[in-house]
Structures are given as C-alpha cells and as structure tokens.
Amino acid sequence: MLKSLRRKFIVITMSLVGLVLVGVLGMSLYSTVRSMNSELTEDLAHALEFGADSKPTVGGSVQSPGNDGMGNSDRFPGSRMVVYVVDIDADGTILQSNNASVAISDDTLDKVVSDVLSSDGDSGSISSSNLTWRRKVTSSGIRIAIGDTTSIHTVVSAQVLNAAVTILVAMSILFVIVWFLSKWAFEPVVESWNRQRRFVADASHELKTPLAVILANLQILERSKSERPAADQRWIDSTAEEAERMNGLVKDLLELARTDENSVGDKGGAFQATDVDLSSIADTVSLQFDAVAFEHGCGLETDIAEDVHVTGDPILLERLVKSLIENACKYAESGTDVLVALERSGSHARFSVTNQGVPIDPEDLPHIFDRFYRSDKARSRETGGFGLGLAIAKGIVDAHHGKIWATSTAEAGTCFSFEI
C-alpha cells in the first residue's frame, strides 16, 4: 500500500510540474508564432502599399522608394521573411514585379496568380510552397504581396524541438529529485505503518498464551459439568464460545501480520516461491466445498482449466482459494449454483468465484477488502465473521504481487476474482 501511495505521489507531482512546464513553453511558442505572423502581416501590408518597386530581402528590411538605406525614410519593419510584390491585370498577365528571379520561381508565381484569381477573398496561402499572399485592387488591376513562411516553420520546428528536449531533461531531473523527496517525505508514514504492523503481530502473539490457558481450563470444566447445576453450565458454555471466537480472531490477525511483513520470494521471508499447480488446488478445494454448498441449499459448478501453474506459496494459495469459495457458498441464494472458474490470461492465471444472491451495494465494493469491514452491518456474528477473510485474501494476493477485485450486480451475481 505504501509503495502504491508513493508511486501516486510521484506521478501526481511530476504531472503537475509537467503541465506547468508544457504550459510555459507552449505560451512561449505561441507568442513567437504570433509575433512572426504579425510581422509578416505588416510586411505584406506595406508591400501592397509601396508596390512593385519594393525589394525582397531575407533577414533584413524591405525598402520602399525613397529609402536612403539608413532607415531614415519610409521603410518596412525588419523582416525575416522574403516579401515579393507583383502587379497583374484582370486576365492574370504580369505587369511588373520586384525582381521575380530572386524571390520566387515562375512556376510558383503562376500558381499563386491562379490561386488569387480563383479566390473570393483578399488573402490566402499555399501550404505546399510555404507561401501566404494578400491582394489589393488597383487602377491597373490587382496587386499581390507574397510572403515566404519557410522561416516561420523553421523557427517553430526548432523551438518545438528545443521545448521537447527541455521537457525531457527537466522531467528526468525532476523524477530523480521527487524520487528522493518522496522517500524522505514518506519516512514518518512508513515508520508509523511498521509500528502498527508490529503492534498487531506482537499483540496477537501475546494473546495466544492467555487464550490457550482459558480454553484449557474450560475443557477441564467441561469434564465435570455433570457436577454443576444446568444454570451455571450455560455461563461456561458462553465463555467457551467467546474464547473460541477470540482464538479465531487472533489467528486471523497473525495471518494478516505475516502477509504484511512478507512477499512471496523475498529473501529470508516466510513465504517461498515454488511452482504450484493451481488447477489441482482449485479442483481439490472445490470438491471439499461441494458438501458445504449442499448444506446451504445450492450447487457448486466448476470450469477449471487443466495444468495451470503459477509461482507462489502453495499453502497461501490454498487458503486464498478456500476463503473465496467459502465466502461464495456462505452468501449464495438457496437453489442457485456457485461457479468456480480458472483460466489462463496471457502470462497470468485468473481465478474467479461467482454466486447468485443479494448484490453488494456499489458504495461498499471499494471497501470490501478493508480490514474489519462488513458490507451488511445487520449480519449475525455467526454468519458475518470478523470482517478479516477478504482482507487476508487481499494480503495473500498482494504477497504474490497480483491483483484482486470484485463485481456485483443483480443480473450477473457477485464475482470475486484474482490474477497472479
């Protein structure tokens, strides 16, 4: 759980910082594109005003007639784009231009003129040639100002590449920082969690001895019950019943502590990873619970694939299968069947138990694997147990690095599944 919480912290932190970084770089890119488009628009407007005597330049100024070359007369703003001006008559014949051989080829110019004559608007673009144009009606025909947007695309591509590299480097550095920061931030949580687990384990161990003494004394008293009045015997029976319940609770708490402390395959851990025939376990346990299902007034059907092997602890996996089948039989509606299924799912094994009965409330589904949680608060203690069975099942699945889940509807029934 703590590892999952730490991963969520890292993902959320990096996502938020990443979004901010992308937003800042995106605004910078947008500002650059908008500035260059604005510059090009101004250049084209001046070109339409000054006409074909304007000179196209790259990276400099497009000069109008009367410019002294020093910026002291009418002048276009500094431009990174090639701006080309051509005057045509109504038939599309070129009347004059500002040095076509420098700025634009004849074929491209013909394509622009054709596009202008066929368009109803005063502006347009030819993306295949990286050109944009504006037009103006004059006394002699039509004046066209053409801008080469290649430089804009080049700048944008370079800035996008730089932004991508910046984001990649920044996120890599951030990941390292957040990784160590999360470890430091979660140290108190980890320590608190470990103390809680140690307390549960230690308290359970300490309770075993007095419980064993109480149960032994009660057994001695049971042998001499004929010497006591019947009214007194009921108190001994009640004490024995509660002592047995407490003994079961202590065992469950110890099992939870074991699954919390160890994972299957951990070096020096309590659980060892071996090859386990899960098909055999499912078959054997299903056969054992066939009579249990019959006592509850329902049947037990199986659909178990053969020769499904997993790596895990055989004792834990047997308890896991027993817990889920027992739970399904306990709450199955009389006259229905409990279906036990095992199948291969890619490189995993998927086990499921489905029963028909009162569906679990959707609000309870996210909590049914919590410790001491019982979705039906009205259940009797004899039926409801301690609310630890599903928590232990989840602990076993977690120890095997698998996943467990449940679905419940009135139509499909309640299904508990795990995959390892």
Contact 247, 383 (CB under 8 A): no
The interaxial angle of helices 389-399 and 314-330, nearest 10 deg, is: 150
Please, which pLDDT band fits residue 350 given cuts at 50, 70 and 90? very high
Sheet-wide strand order for 141-148: 94-97, 83-88, 141-148, 131-138, 123-126
Residue 318 has a pLDDT of 92
- Type of residue found at 77: P
Mean pLDDT value across residues 338-351: 92
Distance CA 321, CA 319 (A): 6
* 175-189, 309-323, 392-406: range with lowest mean pLDDT: 175-189
DSSP state of 393: H
Count of residues making up the chain: 420
Mean pLDDT across the chain: 79
Residue 99 has pLDDT above 70, yes or no: no
Query: Whose structure tokens read 């004559």?
Result: 117
Highest mean pLDDT among 52-66, 283-297, 360-374: 283-297
Q: Which two tokens stand for residue 398?
A: 């977690």
CB atoms within 10 A of CB 304: 17
Distance CA 193, CA 207 (A): 21
The pTM of this model reads: 0.52
- Type of residue found at 391: A
Contact 56, 82 (CB under 8 A): yes
Contact 374, 387 (CB under 8 A): yes
Instruction: Kindly give the pairing relationship between strand 309-312 and strand 131-138.
Output: unpaired
Q: Which two tokens stand for residue 290?
A: 């066939």
Closest CA to 418 of 406, 370, 301, 408: 406
